[in-house]
Structure 1
Amino acid sequence: MGRVVLFDISSQDPERAGAFYSSVFGWKISEPNWGYYPVTTGEDNKPGINGGISKGPNDFPHGIRIQIEVENIEEAIHKSVELGAQIVRDKMEFDHFYLAYLVDPVGNGIGLIQNK
């Protein structure tokens, strides 16, 4: 079962967005890494789903995307496309994981993440 493990908030003003979520909800916004501000939404005794805020790209300038953990990213991409999803960013490789961005058949942005 794919579980939601992260969220991404895209904004054209990520610092302002971070200040808002920090002030209203008490989220901890860390210093940016490559323009991505890591977000912690819970404590160890009451964890939340963590994520990040970054400046949205031209094809996703603002909005929220969930990241779904999968065991095989190629298989998940293939099945998603078969069922009507569109690929926004095909499989990308990072140090500890693979990541892809899609739009589901009804227009919602999602991310697929596979740990190495």
Structure 2
Amino acid sequence: MTNPNTLIFVDLSSDDPAKAGEFYAEVFGWENDPRPYGLYHRMVPGGQMKDSEGNDTPIGNFHLGIHKVANVRPHPDKDGVEPRTLSTEGRKSRVWILVSEDDSMDAILDRAIERGATLLWKDHFWKEFNGFNAAFQDPWGNEIILWVKGGDNPQIPANFTQE
């Protein structure tokens, strides 16, 4: 194989994609693009990927999908298949969001919690990847990790946990 396989999309599960689309639009400021409304919502963050110097590249930011668990599309069977419920317990995939320079982790957490999310943890620094992070679980059980780059000489507050 001469070219790598490319990740193009990640979906979150919801029993109410319309409400989940509104949640993510309000929490992160993304465009909520129903395709079709209530069944599948594409979240469009807008903007471009950045290069190592922080400049826009021609590559648009990744999109995120929200599918309805009652009948996940696409699928060869028009009626879908089991299971048709949310998986809210145990370990599952996590979605990592790089916090914009004109927003803050605390503001995002406040908006998410105000709309029904649960705070999982915050005030943590991960040295291996030089980042400050926090996490919440959305009202549908999806785990979201917020990330802020540490920079060249990160100043880690005394109350932060570290690894």
TM over 0.5: no
More strand per residue: 1
Relative contact order higher in (CA < 8 Å, ≥ 6 apart): 1
TM-score range, shorter chain: 0.3 to 0.5
Q: TM-score, normalised by structure 2?
A: 0.33
Query: Could you say which structure has the larger radius of gyration?
Result: 2
Q: TM-score, normalised by structure 1?
A: 0.44
